[in-house]
Amino acid sequence: MADKGVDGGRGRRSGVVNKQRGNSPQRFYVVLGLLVVVGALFIVRAARAPKVRANVTTAPITPATAEGYLMGNANAPVQIMEFADFECPACGNFAVITEPDVRNRIVNAGLASYRFFDFPLPMHKNTMAASNAAACAADQGKFWEMHDALFRNQPEWNTEATDNPKKIFLGYVKSMGINTDTWEKCFDAQTHQSRILANQAEGTRRKVQSTPTFVIGTRLIPGAMSYDVFKAYVDSAAKEAPAVAKADTTKAKSTTK
Amino acid sequence: MSRRQTLALLAVVGICIALYLTLYKVGVIGVLSCSIGSCETVNTSKWSMLLGIPIAAWGLAAYVALLLLAMVGSGESREESVPIARMLVALAGWSVLFSAWLTYLELFVIHAICIWCLTSALLWVVILAVCVVDLRAVSRAE
């Protein structure tokens, strides 16, 4: 503290301070304000407009009818679809932070049904394996358990963590009480590849360009969002003509695995 | 514009970069704008977290600390404060070392470059240079 006083006293006599006193604080605050505004605009724009284009599949497999993974009552007043990539961090954050509230307070309350559609992105090398792992878990009625484990533990099995995600997935399979042999046969044979590609194709058809992207009622909303914003979209969709929302989602037949 | 004011402006630039990467990491921003390198590979790697907190958030804290120090140090009575100049050099020096370690990880461990992280690392080098000039000037004035 004493230093400050001494410095302050000495500083007033120094040439450096005299030079600095000539500076206009107004100019500084104008530049500072400009930087803050430009930075804020950039961040807000980035938050609203994701730029990576989705992978458009050219696989030789003929896509089957798109099958989502349904949660809740298929005939609920509002239909929600999520297009997500298991390796995408934003999808993982949504699944871990917001989705539990969506399930408890919207889906379980009967306000809406929720369908998950795979939308694997090309830069994620392990995401297709994860989609396969989840599809094979769905065979044994454990899709959502696997969905949660995959998103919760992304850093354990993502592209950076391993070249062999199956080893990690097997750990999840065992902890869920899934028949390991059956799951492994399904995973190795990529039994549900066409189903995954169909889900992806459904997203491409709907002009999904980034993950996660939601379809709530008749609206397509890119990007993760908070529970409150999500609920507002659901409320808004509920007020719209239910028939419109129903007609929209029945274009993609869904299973209840 | 004084040296401390210049540091405050550089800190704001750094805050914007660190905030952008932090918001991506917590899921508010869906996709990083990354024309050069592979920002997502770096920011989803296991090295992108430290003690359960995103590295970008640590960077954000460092830039906010720099902004506060620079703003406090820009006050008329403190523009020649040697302790503040020393704190600025210590903060910037530590941040340069930390950024150097992160850049090493990008180049030789993760094998991917995040242009935003690299920009931040270079920014800290510039900030350190200004801090050193500031310390020398105020020490000389003493």
Q: Å from B33 to nearest chain A CA?
A: 7
Both A100 and A206 in a single domain?
A: yes
Mutate to test the interface with A, among B4, B10, B34, B44 (most CBs of A within 10 A): B44
- State the ipTM, two decimals: 0.73
Both A79 and A6 in a single domain?
A: no
What does the alpha-carbon distance between residue A171 and residue A164 come to, in Å, rounded to a whole number?
A: 13
What is residue B76's three-state secondary structure? coil
What does the alpha-carbon distance between residue A226 and residue A248 come to, in Å, rounded to a whole number?
A: 24
| Record: contact A31-B15, CB cut-off 8 A | no
- Domain B3-141: which topology? de novo design (two linked rop proteins) (1.20.1440)
Both A31 and A81 in a single domain?
A: no
The answer to whether residue A62 sits within a structural domain is no
pLDDT tens for residues B74-121? Answer: 877 887 888 889 999 999 999 999 999 888 888 887 777 788 888 899
Q: Nearest CA to A215 among A116, A125, A147, A129?
A: A116
Both A14 and A88 in a single domain?
A: no
Model pTM? Answer: 0.50
Q: Å from A211 to nearest chain B CA?
A: 7
What is residue A163's three-state secondary structure? coil
Residues of chain A in contact with residue B11, where contact means CB-CB under 8 angstroms, are none
The answer to whether residue A118 sits within a structural domain is yes
pLDDT tens for residues B56-70? Answer: 899 999 999 999 999
Chain B residue with minimal CA distance to A212? B30
The answer to whether residue A58 sits within a structural domain is no
Quick one: pLDDT at residue A17? 46
Q: Å from A172 to nearest chain B CA?
A: 19
Domain that holds residue A208: 69-249
Candidates A3, A38, A154; nearest CB to B82: A3
Chain B residue with minimal CA distance to A160? B45
Binning pLDDT at 50, 70 and 90, where does residue A14 land? very low
Both A133 and A25 in a single domain?
A: no
Candidates B8, B19, B29; nearest CB to A32: B8
Residues of chain B in contact with residue A223, where contact means CB-CB under 8 angstroms, are 30
The answer to whether residue A63 sits within a structural domain is no
What does the alpha-carbon distance between residue B87 and residue A10 come to, in Å, rounded to a whole number?
A: 19
Q: Please state, as a whole number, how many other Cβ atoms lie within 10 Å of the Cβ of residue A73.
A: 14
| Record: contact A160-B8, CB cut-off 8 A | no
Both A32 and A111 in a single domain?
A: no
Both A31 and A118 in a single domain?
A: no
